[in-house]
Each structure stands twice: as C-alpha cells, then as structure tokens.
Structure 1
Amino acid sequence: MAAIPTIEEEDARRPSRERESLVGEQTRLVNRIKAVLTRLGIRSFRLSLRSAADRLAAIRTAEGTPLPDNTCAELSRLLARLSLMRERIRTIEQERLRRLAAAPAAAASGLHAMVRLIARIIGIGFETADMLVHEALSRGLRDRRAVARYAGLTGSPDESGQRRREKGLARSGNARVRRGMIQLAWRFLSFQKDSDLAQWY
C-alpha cells in the first residue's frame, strides 16, 4: 500500500527538487553558450568567471574578427540567465544551511539531525544527505530490501523455461533516490578506499 506523504513532508522536498531543476537548466544554458562559441571557433572562454559577460566585447573568433552583433546580444542574454540560475541555486543552498544551523542539535529524532548525521560521513555532502533523508529515509520503509525496491535498485530477472538471465536494475522506483545512491556508491569507493566494504567490493 502506498503511503501518502503529509503536506509538510512534501513541502520539505521542494528545495531539493527545485535545486535539481535549476542545476539542469544551468547545464542546458552552459551547453548552449558553449555551442554558440564553438561554432565561431572559440574554445577558451571561461564561463565560470564573474566577469564573463564583461569580456564578451574582447572575444575574437577564429578568424580574428569580433563577435557578430546578434550573437553577442544572444550571449549577453544567456549569460544573464546563467547568472540568475547560479544566484537562485546559491540562495537555496544558503537557506538550507541556515535551517540546519537553526534546528536544535538536541532534537535527535528530527529530519535536520538526520541530515547533519549523514553529512558527517566522508564523501557525502549536504545536498545528497538532504535528498536521501527527505526522499527515502523519512518514509517508513520496512527494511533494506524495501529501500532498494523504492529506489529501483533491485534486479529484474528474466526466467523462461531453462533460460535464466539478469537484465540489470529494475529502474521502476524513485529516480532521484536511485541516481543519488549510485553516485553515493561511487563516492564511497573514491573517498573511502581503505574501508572494509570497499575492500570487499
């Protein structure tokens, strides 16, 4: 039976989901800007600089000519949108850290305490911890198999007569949790190479 989340539980997931959406849009903008610049033979322009929009006038194409007017205007608009996306992402992250700092540390049963506890593990940041707590661990899942089923991390066997084969992950659960747990597994192998679990793997 599906457990329907309360309004407060659903509301607690909004910042993480909004940030995920903004990061996706930021990636699309960066790729679009790079595509426009690559068409003109420009590959060394650094979008991470705060003064990237001010440097547009100094950019030269592969032939040594300045950027065409319409292209320069389009890039200015795209860079303005990119700056807005980065500002919104930063606002969400700062608000989450403010809420975590404001929550009393003594409330061990609260979700904020769970986020802080998980974020103390090497290789897990606040974003992953927040997503895991609000998307999966706040639910009353029975055991680790229920967590795996919810995340879509169970196998999908194909059995017919004498033929038996494994078709990989089922991918039928929560995509955010599945993606986060797979990234978490790789981070665990990267940051905790000497742990017993990593050695066993």
Structure 2
Amino acid sequence: MITTTIPESRGYIGKSVLYMAMELSNATWKLGFSNAERNRIVTLDAGDWIALSKQIDLARKKLHLPEGCRIVSCYEAGRGGFWIHRMLEENGILNLIFDSSSMEVNRRRRRTKTDKVDVDALLRLLQRYLNGERKAVSVVRVPTAQEEDQRRLNREREQLIKERSAPSTRIKSLLALLGIRMKITKNFPSELEKTTKDASGNELMPQLKAELLREYKRYQLVVEQIKILHDEQKRRVKEEKTQVIEQIIGLMLFKGIGWQSSWILVMEFFLDGENLKIGAN
C-alpha cells in the first residue's frame, strides 16, 4: 500500500527545504519554488520530466539551498490522478496531494468552477501545513496501483449507467413527438414494427423508425456491457477469496445494504488497507 508519510512540523523548522507547488494543466505545468523566504515561478511543458529535474536543480541553486536538501512538493487533486505523485515519490520527492474542496478561497473574488488555486497560494498552503497547521488543508490518501485497478470495474459500471440514459431518453422523446407510449424492452423492435401509425393516425415515416431502431441498438449495447460487468462481479465474489471480497460479502449480510451498495462502499471507502470490521460486538 502506498501511503504518504505526513512529516512532523518540527522536522522542517530551521531545516533546508525546497518547497515546490505544481499547477497542472493538459498543456503546461506551472511550478512554484520557495525556500520559505523567496519564491521562484517557472512554466514548462506538461509531462517534461527532464525539464522538471533541471528546474528543481536550478531552483535549489537560485534559492541558495544546499545540494541534497529535502524537497517537498504538492499539487491540487484533479483529473491528473496519481501517476505524477508516484513519479515524484520514486524520484525521492515527498509529495502531498491537496483536496480541492478543503482549500481556502478568497471570498472577495468570485471563483468559477474552472479556476484553480494559483501556484503562489499552493506554496503558502504547503508551508503552513508543514509548519503544523494541519487544519489548513486536507491531504488526499494515495491508493496503490492495484487498489486503483480494483475500483475500475465499479467505476466503469457507474459510467455505463449514466451513458444508458442518453439513448433511452432519446427514444422516449422521439416516441413522445408521435404520441406513442411504448416501453423499452427486448421486444421493442418487434413492437415498433407492428406500430404503423402515430397517435393522430398518420403513417410512421421510415426514417423515423430507422432512427428509433438505431437508438435502441445503442441502448442495448450499453445494457449488455452493464450485464457483463455485473456477471464479472458475481464471478469474483464466487471465486476470489480476498479480504476485499470478504468485506463485500460481510456488508451484504446487513439489512438495507444491497449488492451494489456493498461493492461501492468497500471499493470507494474501505479500500484503504485497513480492516473493515463486520458484525462487531
């Protein structure tokens, strides 16, 4: 299990530390460096690790920090996921991922949904946190690659359920234009074939029927994929004898917690390397 070791504040007071904050986007990474007295801001192409390494060395020299000083970095949780964190840690850099929802926002300035905390603010937040202000921000726990992979099945299923509503809604809308009420079942194509007129008695146009059938095929494709994932969940519960599966089975014993709820609870909330106590006295 990968866990970010939260350093004690006393280990940083009076010590040489290079603080690094990263503002990430698809195209560029904006880096902020500090020695707690002076800041240095640079921008480089996203994912350019060679340039990042060079900028770290340059920042250390520009900020007059000794070679081999401790480097602590941070960035805001987002679509970038955890691969950047793992790369930083593999290169000997202690990294913290800050929970976006826990960050302080300047109330005098309206913040749009797409705004990010700027790199200067991240630098200040990182130093405050390391100097003992643990309530200044929440640090995200980083799962292992294996834990992330175990969550894929459930998250794919949730995404497919969202996608299923698009063709379903489209079919219902098209039928509503004609004043036709018809359930979307496996018999939908045959029922549609039997329907020759709309609610006004006008003949159904061939292109409209063809569109309805195409939307139904899209709907069925998603339904079939959801079933495949559901069958895979059943297979894992039946065949795999892991702690995670035992936790899922244990939760299902409780009244009011169903199959999918048990799976989601374990994969999204209890998959942290700690034991979930089921049926404790």
Deviation of 1:66 after TM superposition, in Å, equals: 3.3
- Identity across aligned pairs (percent)? 32
Match of 1:32 among 161, 167, 170: 170
Q: Distance in 1 between matches of 2:203 and 2:159?
A: 34
Contact kept in structure 2, 1:100 and 1:116, CA below 8 Å: yes
Q: Distance in 2 between matches of 1:140 and 1:13?
A: 14
> Which residue in the other structure is 1:63 paired with?
200
Q: Which amino acid aligns with 2:189?
A: A
Q: Distance in 2 between matches of 1:125 and 1:58?
A: 39
How many residue pairs get aligned? The number is 135
SS of residue matched to 2:186: coil
Deviation of 1:75 after TM superposition, in Å, equals: 0.5
Deviation of 1:123 after TM superposition, in Å, equals: 2.1
Q: Which amino acid aligns with 1:12?
A: Q
Q: In the alignment, is residue 76 of structure 1 matched against residue 209 of structure 2?
A: no
> Which residue in the other structure is 1:54 paired with?
190
> Which residue in the other structure is 2:158 paired with?
20
User: TM-score, normalising length from structure 2?
Assistant: 0.46
> Which residue in the other structure is 2:236 paired with?
99
Q: Which runs of 5+ in 2 are unaligned?
A: 1-138, 275-281
Point out the structure with max Rg over C-alpha: 2
> Which residue in the other structure is 2:258 paired with?
125
Higher strand share: 2
4+ residue runs of structure 1 moved beyond 6 angstroms?
none
Q: Which runs of 5+ in 1 are unaligned?
A: 142-201
Q: Distance in 2 between matches of 1:101 and 1:46?
A: 34
Deviation of 1:15 after TM superposition, in Å, equals: 0.8
Q: Which amino acid aligns with 1:46?
A: K
> Which residue in the other structure is 1:172 paired with?
none
The Cα RMSD (Å) is 1.5
> Which residue in the other structure is 1:6 paired with?
144
Q: Distance in 1 between matches of 2:173 and 2:256?
A: 33
> Which residue in the other structure is 1:199 paired with?
none
Q: Distance in 2 between matches of 1:98 and 1:22?
A: 19
> Which residue in the other structure is 1:112 paired with?
245
> Which residue in the other structure is 2:92 paired with?
none
Q: Distance in 1 between matches of 2:273 and 2:245?
A: 17
Query: 1:55-110 CA deviation, whole Å, 9 max, x = no partner?
Result: 21222311123321111111010101111111110110010110111023xx5xx0
Contact kept in structure 2, 1:29 and 1:82, CA below 8 Å: yes
Query: 1:108-166 CA deviation, whole Å, 9 max, x = no partner?
Result: xx01000011112222222111111011111268xxxxxxxxxxxxxxxxxxxxxxxxx
Q: Distance in 2 between matches of 1:84 and 1:125?
A: 25
> Which residue in the other structure is 1:185 paired with?
none
Contact kept in structure 2, 1:57 and 1:67, CA below 8 Å: no
